[in-house]
Structure 1
């Protein structure tokens, strides 16, 4: 069972049809915007070192937002025949007439061409529909995903394994009554797996715009090495520790920075830590939202948002200085700014936030590197040079169950997971039991607090639908551990 690729232009025809129906039902004064999106996901799950589920799902969603006589209403349907589309329009027109006045309506996106990605250095204009799109990934078969699961299990060397290999495909089109009309498509592959032995877990994750980039053998061996090295952990007392966070853990920082910090609505309501123009981070920190992907991370999203605004790279932090937050048209109007192309179905309520953030890696060192790692070494390759510089601290693989205690300062509490080790004089000396932490994320990456950044940003599977984070390892001066395994 493989994913069927939707005919190019099909969604754009649907969107244009809905705009025309709005004119017929509500008259020429109605302002309408229509997003038609076809999402397909194919998932191969494994547990107890065996594939136990192979599923595929595809749905086309039509979303209409209508502004009429100073009022706004929205509707959606997955029924895309003539009756379903007319029903959507008639329901939304009826709803808008019962809605309260909407003085915050920002108007429609005018006709605007799609952008080239900043990461694309070739000549000529790209196609908004096809740039960075890997059709082989979109059409991936269960057998192709199963090959990667098999390789993961074999590489784990008899350890119990579990996880998934997933391929996704989206094609979408937008049209509004002001004449904006755009379309695009994207595909992604991801693998996330654990290996387990005697209560010790190791993890390996990777995402890419190409299924061919996922090597189950490499991921399985990495997870197994971590699991074996995590046995017989010791407990350490709470306190502030020097840490190396591997990319999986850093992704949680990027996720929370995006949702709570670089959120345009939170910023305009003064609920965010972000201060434009302020040196809030260490000078080594540069954060860029790259919805169109780049040469370094070829996993593009759709080239426009739910309001039809073209997307492009957005520098959030440059060399420690906060430069921007994400906006849709509503938050931009409130802030006196321009939309950055971050509208979503929930952005008017939850707020617009970046979804493709990359923390720029450090330049690779020119001096000779470290010797090859032993197969049992639990340190991810990209983190090894950072671990070598730790006098006494912790290597942390992953963070989970993280919750915001204070959104303004972004104080987070959570747990370590899938491997923690004590590092002394640059060497891993003992496995450590999982610990609870309570830490302000901006403070942890503040001026003078970042002691090193890995030389490679790893693209990781999304934690929420549509989000992708590319993270290197980080060496931080201090991380506040507030409890250990025994409480």
Structure 2
């Protein structure tokens, strides 16, 4: 069994906690049914369904902590995993940053489970693959993509009487389309809460169009350009920046949010006044489970309002040390935008560069959040409101902090998931000035 009901999960976790002889015990039970289909070179290569459930147990003797996991749930296995966690705790040194288990909390359920997504069948996955492969074959293009989906649950409990349970679903789609000679490449991706709103036949046309149009790419001199970043292109940069919204990093002088002379920049204007971001676990387009990894309840909270920093994340240890209240770490990031599409932003651009996707992003300087990476899968030159011709890809060296001070206009936010980020994000397309492209890239 991989999908436990709330009652079943609660009974198992309570049993685990009663088995422990440690001073405190916390347990987490997660389970899922995950389906997928992968295709490449216009043919399905793999497809499957994975069922799994995992129990994690953490115990403490004083400040000595031990953890153990298991995916068997008979009484002997439960006793074994608790015993192993306790053995490890007795061997462990004191953790100087140990914080006791949280007290009993109240969690407000969020709308994270969509029946249509939970009901995805192998036939539906195969149809998505066919809807991508068939038109590509007909147009002498080559498709490679991946569709994954899951229905899952998470349950937490501890010896202080805390308990939480929630079900959730999600689905991800990505597809790269290339010309037969490999000189043109297009890409499309969607992170989906409700798969019934996804139309693969329509989405694949985006990647096909970019692949066909990018085949005769011209070289453009590196430099600073007005740029239009599609949501997927800016998501990776923004998520890297959000890693710095940590109070300890700022207070210890390791962040762009460190205040000169000490302290942090909460309450200071750091970005363009058009930059507003917030978190809301119950957001209709990006709902997440209502607690974080420590079991703290997530709340709706402002992060940046009209360019002013409102929030830094305090771990429970750092909050105690600094005399602050620890709140649940956000699970989503919602960036306020306008009503325009990416192409609407193109139409208002005299000269600039359209970027479909950024890739292989790496940190250069943590204190300024200077990042480097590559454009990929469709980069185009814009002139007088039109896409004139494809251009060769660039390496960029840019800080999202500077980027979000060079705002021309934001479009309509869309749901995006970034592989490097714990967030579900609602990110708009962005029109920005003076974006730094440092060199040309041979990437396609």
TM-score when normalising by structure 2: 0.91
The structure carrying a bigger strand percent of its residues is 2
Deviation per CA, 1:259-303, whole angstroms, max 9, x where unpaired? x2224553444322232112111111112233x3422x1x43222
Q: Is this contact kept in 1: 2:111–2:282, CA < 8 A?
A: no
Counterpart in the other structure of 2:261: none
With over 3 angstroms needed to count, the CA separation of the structure-2 counterparts of 1:309 and 1:460, relative to structure 1, is same
* Distance in 1 separating the partners of 2:162 and 2:394: 51
Q: Which residue of 2 aligns with 1:183?
A: 165
Q: 1:152 aligns with which of 132, 136, 143?
A: 132
1:321 aligns with 2:319: no
Taking the TM superposition and a 5 Å limit, the aligned residue runs for 1:44-443 are 44-115=37-108, 128=109, 131-156=111-136, 157-158=138-139, 159-197=141-179, 198=181, 199-258=183-242, 260-274=243-257, 275-290=265-280, 292-295=281-284, 297=285, 299-342=286-329, 354-362=330-338, 364=339, 382-443=341-402
Structure 1: which 5+ runs fail to align? 116-127, 343-353, 366-381
Structure 2: 5+ residue stretches without partners: 258-264
Is the CA contact 2:38–2:146 (under 8 Å) kept in the aligned structure 1?
Answer: yes
Q: What root-mean-square deviation, in Å, do the aligned CA atoms of Structure 1 and Structure 2 show?
A: 2.1
The change in CA–CA distance for 1:86 and 1:37 in structure 2 (over 3 A counts) is same
1:7 equivalent to 2:8? Answer no
Alignment partner of 1:452 is 2:409: yes
Does the alignment pair 1:480 with 2:436?
yes
Whole-angstrom CA distance in 1 between matches of 2:18 and 2:224: 62
Change (3 A) 1:339 1:146: farther
Cα distance in 1 between the residues matched to 2:48 and 2:120: 13
1:69–1:314 Cα change, 3 Å: same
Q: Is the 8 Å Cα contact of residues 11 and 37 (structure 1) preserved in structure 2?
A: no
Q: CA deviation at 1:172?
A: 1.1
**Contact 1:34–1:63 (CA under 8 A) maintained in structure 2:** yes
1 CA distance for matches of 2:308 and 2:250?
A: 16
1:372 corresponds to: none
Distance apart, 1:54 and its partner CA: 0.6
Secondary structure at the counterpart of residue 144 of structure 2: strand
Please give the alpha-carbon distance, in whole angstroms, between the structure 2 residues aligned to 1:207 and 1:140.
Answer: 15
Q: Is the 8 A contact 2:239 2:418 kept in 1?
A: no
Alignment length, in residue pairs? 432
**Which residue number in structure 2 is paired with residue 471 of structure 1?**
427
Q: TM-score, normalised by structure 1?
A: 0.84
| Residues 242 and 393 in structure 1, CA contact (< 8 A), matched pair in contact too | yes
Deviations 1:109-134 (A, max 9, x none): 2112113xxxxxxxxxxxx2x73411
Identify if the C-alpha distance between structure 1 residues 358 and 110 changes in structure 2 by more than 3 Å, giving closer, same or farther: same
Give the C-alpha shift of residue 334 in structure 1: 3.8
Q: Distance in 2 between matches of 1:287 and 1:180?
A: 31
Give the 3-state SS of the residue equivalent to 2:356 in structure 1: strand
CA contact (8 A) 1:174 1:306 kept: no
Kept after mapping to 1: 8 A contact 2:6/2:165: no
